[in-house]
Amino acid sequence: MALLAVAATLGLAAPGCATSGRAATSTTTTTATTVTDPGPRTSTTEPDAPAEPDAVDPSLTDVPDEVFAGLGDPRIDVADYQVRLHAEPGRDEVAGTARLRLAATTADPLPSFTLDLRGPRATQVLVDGRRAKVSTEADELEITPSAPLEPGESTSVVITYAGEPEPASFPRLEVPVGWQPDDRGGWFTMNEPFGASSWVPVNDHPSDKATWTITLDTPASVTGVANGRLRSRQAVAGRRRWVWETDQPMASYLAFVAIGDYDLVERGGAEGTEVVFAFPPDLSPDERGAFDQLDPILSFFSDTFGPYPDDDAGAAVVDTSLGLAMETQTRPLFGSDAFRGGDAWALAHEVAHQWYGNAVSPARWQDLWLNESFATYADWLWRESQGEGSVRELSDGRGVPSAGGLAVLDPEAAATFDGAVYEGGARALHALRLEAGDDDFFELLRRWFADNRGRSVTTEDFLALARKVTDADVDAWADEWLRNPDPPELPR
Ligand code: ZN
């Protein structure tokens, strides 16, 4: 869905060519993703057993990922980020302190590890209070503590850093990724897929989820917004400190910050949530009114998929044309171009991601359809409930056809956020529903969420659950609808 806007705004070209920078896209095979290596920190265990991460190969310094290489470090698992960020409108510079709690995932003591950081430089790193050696590369820090990290033991890492954030441009679509300006001198982040490292040192891969507290230190007249719950807004020495806390595990591409001129509209919301909207002061009452739909959408998805996975909800609207919307955790992100015919047109899609993508996250970027196909399908369900047509009708002719004829699971489709992982995978889910029957299909969606919330999962995990919950021929379905670049039409 958001891809529609990207396509409309940017003139989507034919896929197949571009990769740049950090994107290592594998080429043309369409058989991708039978998962043999579930990767680090990936849970394939039964629901109630806490995931026991397998010890990781100590020679791997980046998370193995077919779609976006060079990200993260599988030898560590970060549990918590406490980030304090000093930023000002009009000044392209941040200064910060990031306090991480992390543990080595290796079998043996770990002599050094890396964090992603692009732009700002680390000026000091303390590991358990002791000075560590740091070597800086273009897009990561290598940290060597005075003693190796003991496997599994919680370690404190404190990084002081400052400098000019270096956003990345998304291959082919020219979507700016990371720290970026709005049109009024403020700043905000759109991190998916690899932008978080432009403003914070981070293990930047969705296989490593963590809780986050983000403190924005701004001039007194400026508002700082982030994910989760606003814990405090203190005036300190002529400035203001905005403390935002996310207590549900979050993938780093879902972290959000904005500083600038915002009205914070706080109220109770549906499903027991506390809602905070961040609106540009001159956003019209009609445009603000579009977000009243948040409550019925939260209730509809809670009824359909299981209880909303957080206590906090809302949205943020930034004062620039984004060309897409983004499911930033608890507080999805929209631009000034988000409104169409009285609607914030991607709202249901981004809210659906709070279940599929945010609570249940992809363990590797090639599993992106677990986000986008599900959110697209959820949006069709919501629209159907609003009398906008049946899911079958809505699935027709919507969205960017996959010009390159890519299969849903083709890594190239994930690398380019192709229509195949949006509408293509949503049609695949509908085909599964037709074969499994409504009862089993919706049971599958609910179990997928209930069993895996807080974790990172793979396509193979989904197929295994589908085999368990439904009578469908799941392997034939996956071959025909997920691995096939030319899937059939849905029956009338
Ligand atoms: Zn989406």
Coil, strand or helix: which one is 97? strand
Res 39: pLDDT: 39
Distance separating alpha carbons of residues 155 and 137, to the nearest angstrom: 23
pLDDT in tens, 303-326: 999 999 999 999 999 999 999 999
Q: How far is CA 113 from CA 97, 272, 443, 454, in A?
A: 18, 41, 41, 24
Q: Give the strand order in the sheet containing 176-181.
A: 168-169, 176-181, 187-190, 257-260, 223-226
Architecture of domain 360-482: Orthogonal Bundle (1.10)
Looking at residue 481, the DSSP 8-state letter turns out to be I
AA identity, residue 165? P
**DSSP secondary structure letter of residue 106:** B
Full-model pTM: 0.90
pLDDT at 114: 98
The verdict on whether omega for the bond into residue 64 sits within 30 degrees of 0, i.e. cis, is no
Q: Is 9 exposed, middle or buried (0-12, 13-18, 19+ CB in 10 A)?
A: middle
Span from the CA of 422 to the centroid of ligand 1 (angstroms):
7
**Beta strands per DSSP E along 220-359:** 223-226, 229-236, 239-250, 257-260, 263-268, 274-279, 312-317, 333-334, 339-340, 343-344
Alpha carbon distances (Å) from 342 to 263, 289, 331:
20, 8, 20
Residue 369 Cα to ligand 1 middle (Å): 9
Task: Classify residue 288 by burial, with Cβ atoms within 10 Å: 0-12, 13-18, 19+.
Answer: middle
Task: Quote the CA–CA distance of 322 and 397 in Å, as a whole number.
Answer: 24
Dist. CA 217 → ligand 1 center (Å): 30
pLDDT at 22: 28
pLDDT of residue 172: 74
| Fold match, 25-268 / 360-482 | no
Tell me the CA–centroid distance for residue 108 and ligand 1, in Å. 39
Q: Is 83 helix (H, G, I), strand (E, B) or coil?
A: strand
Given a contact cutoff of 8 angstroms between Cβ atoms, the answer to whether 58 and 472 are in contact is: no
Q: Ligand 1: distance of its center to the CA of 205 in Å?
A: 17
Residue with tokens 């021929």: 473
Residue count of the chain, please give it: 492
Distance 135 CA to ligand 1 centre (A): 36
CATH of the structural domain 25-268, one choice from 2.60.34.10, 3.40.50.300, 2.60.40.1730, 1.20.1560.10? 2.60.40.1730
Rounded Cα–Cα distance for residues 277 and 57 (Å): 44
Token reading at 95: 């200064």
Distance 90 CA to ligand 1 centre (A): 30
Q: What was the pLDDT predicted at 416? A: 93
The structure tokens listed for 392 are: 């079958």
Q: Which helix (H) or strand (E) holds 455?
A: strand 455-457
Q: How far, in Å, is the centroid of ligand 1 from the Cα of 48?
A: 29
Cα of 28 vs centre of ligand 1, distance in Å, is 24
Q: Would you state the structure tokens that stand for residue 269, as one six-digit string?
A: 């919301």
pLDDT at position 52 is: 53
Compute, in angstroms, the gap from residue 257 CA to the centroid of ligand 1: 19
DSSP alpha helix (H) spans, 306-458: 347-352, 369-385, 391-394, 411-415, 425-436, 438-452
For residue 373, report the distance from its CA to the centre of ligand 1, in Å. 8
For residue 156, the one-letter residue type is: S
What pLDDT, on a 0 to 100 scale, did the predictor assign at position 397?
A: 66
In the chain, the amino acid numbered 256 is F
Expressed in angstroms and rounded, the spacing between residue 350 Cα and the centre of ligand 1 is 6
Q: Compute, in angstroms, the gap from residue 368 CA to the centroid of ligand 1.
A: 9
* Phi/psi at 477 (5° precision): -60, -45
Q: Supply the pLDDT for residue 53.
A: 55
- Report CA(349)–ligand 1 centroid distance (Å): 6
- CA contacts within 13 A on the Cβ side of 483: 16
pLDDT of amino acid 394: 95
* C-alpha 326 – ligand 1 centre gap (Å): 7
Tokens of 115: 């964090």
How many contiguous H segments (helices) and E segments (strands) does the chain have? 11, 24
Å from CA of 474 to ligand 1 middle: 24
Distance CA 329, CA 358 (A): 6
User: How far apart are the CA of 383 and the centre of ligand 1, in A?
Assistant: 16
Residue type, 375: A
Per-residue confidence (pLDDT) for residue 401, from 0 to 100: 52
CB 208 within 8 A of CB 41: yes
Where in the chain are the domains? 25-268, 360-482
Going from the Cα of 44 to the center of ligand 1, the distance in angstroms, rounded, reads: 24
- The low-confidence residues of the chain, meaning pLDDT below 50, are 1-51, 400
